[in-house]
């Protein structure tokens, strides 16, 4: 029965793409919607997002940010105020042209991002240096009309948070940009257990309207990179476009410096792809909707009551500290194991007749399937420690994978060979010209993911045109 259940999903090692779709549908994380590219996030998937929200939001609050809610729609003329910005986003905008039975006099865009909206209000709210910094964030949905879509990774509507801040000086804005990139890296690595490489985007890959875009890049099992969050230093571009000025301490009227930064439901796709296995999802304990599932193992009917009591006692001892549930359905234990494995619950707690007699429970880790008998009185401590170990192990093995998939290439031929032999990140010298970047993309399908902070400066030559380069860029094919 276990077998039957599991064979309903493709093997991760054989067909990652089908496995990904299968596991999302079977684990009831999401479902298709009638309109191409849209998805419905089902309760189990949404609970995962709620955990992401609460843990990330706590980090935003701790760094002085406050939440607000800005409108869903903006006039076309407003989006057009920042030239690069509108050029980047207009092709993806959903346009509202009528309300009720009336045509609107101006088309309204459903926000694809909200720089123009925040900018408009900041120009009204910010008058003096005393109003700075203004540090706001919003959790909302945005719409970008995409052609090729996939659950979570690329959907026409997605959920995200977008921070928008305004500062007195370029230095303050730059520091904020880096601070939030650090917050993202901390969250994605510690809570999602996904290792990332942080760095700066190339001109070609930066956000439309930004002076500089910083990113954290993860690596999926197929060797493709996934941009997990970005933080933008917007300079004074939006301040000028939206006339956001303040009177400084010296009495002069100046433009503010702004930033924006975002993380979306796309990262849930990274969680699914990074940690899962042939049996289904494996969710990092810190964000798992259910951290431990208790499964009673029936014995002789004489044992029923004792098992029920032990299960309830175990649940109670855990409920305060952990997200724990009991599966009392009438399915067989084997069937239940498969179901909760598919759903990626990081820890299973079995309690059967022998366990009751030994006053113990058996913990089974989802990541390693390791079994450990634990005395019931010390259950909560053992569960806490085991969940920590699962969390650490998920991160450690993802990091080992990522590090094993970084190649260095010093010629374009090496680059192509490396990408074929072992798809992943490739560190290569690049002169900085958009033409060479485009050549590499055209010939290999790989793009510059970032200029990584962690790479040391070194003397080298561009793999395309041989011009000098002082640092390797990080390339990969990407989601």
Considering only 26, 84, 145, 150, the residue that binds a copy of itself (CB under 8 A) is 145
Interface characters, 148-187, with a copy of itself (x: CB under 8 A): ---------x-x----------------------------
Taking the CB of residue 422, how many other CB atoms lie within 10 A of it? 14
Give the nearer residue to a copy of itself in terms of CB position, either 50 or 435. 50
Q: Are strands 292-296 and 324-326 parallel, antiparallel or unpaired?
A: parallel
424: left (phi over 0), alpha (psi -120 to 50) or beta: left
For residue 77, report the phi and psi dihedrals to the nearest 5 degrees: -65, -30
Is residue 451 near a copy of itself by the rule CB under 8 A?
A: no
Start-to-end C-alpha separation, the chain: 35
Query: In b/e form, how buried is each residue of 141-168, taking b as 16+ CB within 10 angstroms?
Result: ebbbbeeebbbbbbbbbbbbbbbbbbbb
Give the nearer residue to a copy of itself in terms of CB position, either 66 or 470. 66
**CB-based contact 21:30 (threshold 8 Å):** no
Give the nearer residue to a copy of itself in terms of CB position, either 2 or 53. 53
Considering only 7, 13, 64, 124, the residue that binds a copy of itself (CB under 8 A) is 124
Is residue 93 near a copy of itself by the rule CB under 8 A?
A: yes
Angle between helices 304-319 and 379-404 (to 10 degrees): 70
- Which H or E run includes 166? strand 157-167
Give the nearer residue to a copy of itself in terms of CB position, either 43 or 377. 43
Give the nearer residue to a copy of itself in terms of CB position, either 73 or 80. 73
Minimal distance in Å, beta carbon 41 to a copy of itself? 4
User: Dihedral angle at the C-alpha atoms of 313, 316, 318, 319, nearest 10 degrees?
Assistant: 160
Considering only 56, 79, 132, 143, the residue that binds a copy of itself (CB under 8 A) is 143
Give the nearer residue to a copy of itself in terms of CB position, either 95 or 453. 95
Is residue 128 near a copy of itself by the rule CB under 8 A?
A: no
* Contacts (CB under 8 A) with a copy of itself, residues 24-83: 31, 33-35, 38-43, 45-47, 49-50, 66-75, 78
Considering only 9, 52, 108, 126, the residue that binds a copy of itself (CB under 8 A) is 108
The overall longest dimension of the chain from CA atoms, in Å, is 85
Minimal distance in Å, beta carbon 478 to a copy of itself? 22
Minimal distance in Å, beta carbon 70 to a copy of itself? 5
Give the nearer residue to a copy of itself in terms of CB position, either 157 or 339. 157
**CB-based contact 377:369 (threshold 8 Å):** no
Closest C-alpha to 342, from 291, 288, 281: 281
Give the nearer residue to a copy of itself in terms of CB position, either 190 or 331. 331
**CB-based contact 407:424 (threshold 8 Å):** yes
**CB-based contact 427:197 (threshold 8 Å):** no
Minimal distance in Å, beta carbon 101 to a copy of itself? 7
Q: How many residues lie near a copy of itself (CB under 8 A)?
A: 52
Separation CA 327–CA 301 (nearest Å): 18
DSSP 375-409: EGGGHHHHHHHHHHHHHHHHHHHHHHHHHHTEEEE
Minimal distance in Å, beta carbon 447 to a copy of itself? 22
Give the nearer residue to a copy of itself in terms of CB position, either 240 or 331. 331
Residues at the site binding a copy of itself, with contacts judged by CB under 8 A:
31, 33-35, 38-43, 45-47, 49-50, 66-75, 78, 90-101, 107-108, 110, 120-121, 124-125, 136, 140-141, 143, 145, 157, 159
């Amino acid at each position: 029965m276990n077998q039957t259940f599991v064979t309903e999903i493709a093997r991760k090692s054989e067909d990652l793409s089908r496995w990904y779709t299968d596991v999302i549908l079977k684990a009831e994380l999401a479902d298709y919607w009638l309109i191409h590219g849209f998805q419905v996030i089902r309760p189990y998937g949404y609970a995962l997002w709620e955990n992401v929200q609460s843990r990330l939001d706590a980090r935003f609050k701790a760094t002085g940010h406050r939440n607000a809610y800005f409108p869903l729609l903006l006039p076309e003329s407003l989006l057009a105020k920042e030239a690069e910005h509108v050029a980047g986003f207009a092709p993806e905008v959903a346009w509202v042209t009528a309300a009720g039975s009336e045509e609107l006099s101006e088309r309204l865009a459903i926000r694809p991002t909200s720089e123009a909206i925040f900018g408009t209000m900041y120009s009204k709210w910010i008058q003096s240096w005393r109003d700075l910094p203004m540090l706001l964030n919003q959790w909302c949905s945005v719409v970008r009309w995409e052609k090729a879509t996939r659950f979570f990774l690329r959907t026409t509507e997605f959920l995200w948070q977008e921070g928008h801040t305004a500062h007195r000086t370029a230095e303050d804005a730059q520091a904020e940009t880096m601070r939030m990139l650090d917050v993202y890296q901390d969250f994605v690595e510690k809570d999602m257990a996904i290792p990332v490489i942080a760095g700066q985007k190339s001109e070609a890959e930066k956000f439309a309207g930004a002076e500089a875009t910083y990113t954290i890049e993860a690596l999926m099992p197929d060797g493709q990179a996934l941009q997990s969050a970005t933080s933008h230093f917007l300079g004074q571009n939006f301040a000028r476009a939206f006339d956001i000025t303040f009177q400084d301490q010296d009495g002069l009227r100046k433009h503010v410096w702004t930033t924006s930064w975002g993380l979306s439901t796309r990262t849930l796709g990274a969680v699914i792809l990074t940690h899962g296995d042939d049996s289904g999802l494996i969710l990092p304990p810190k964000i798992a909707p259910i951290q431990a599932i208790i499964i009673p193992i029936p014995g002789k009917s004489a044992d029923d009551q004792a098992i029920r009591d032990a299960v309830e006692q175990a649940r109670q001892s855990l409920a305060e500290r952990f997200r724990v549930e009991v599966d009392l359905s009438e399915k067989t234990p084997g069937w239940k194991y498969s179901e909760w494995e598919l759903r990626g619950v990081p820890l299973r707690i079995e309690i059967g007749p022998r366990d009751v007699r030994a006053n113990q429970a058996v913990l089974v880790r989802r990541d390693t399937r390791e079994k450990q008998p634990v005395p019931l009185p010390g259950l909560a401590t053992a569960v806490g420690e085991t969940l920590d170990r699962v969390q650490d192990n998920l991160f450690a093995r993802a990091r080992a994978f990522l590090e094993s998939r970084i190649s260095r290439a010093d010629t374009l031929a090496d680059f192509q060979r490396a990408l074929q032999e072992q798809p992943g990140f490739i560190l290569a010298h690049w002169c900085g010209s958009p033409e060479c970047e485009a050549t590499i993309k055209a010939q290999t399908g790989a793009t510059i993911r970032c200029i990584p902070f962690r790479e040391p400066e070194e003397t080298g030559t561009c793999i395309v045109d041989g011009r000098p380069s002082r640092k390797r860029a990080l390339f990969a094919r990407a989601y």
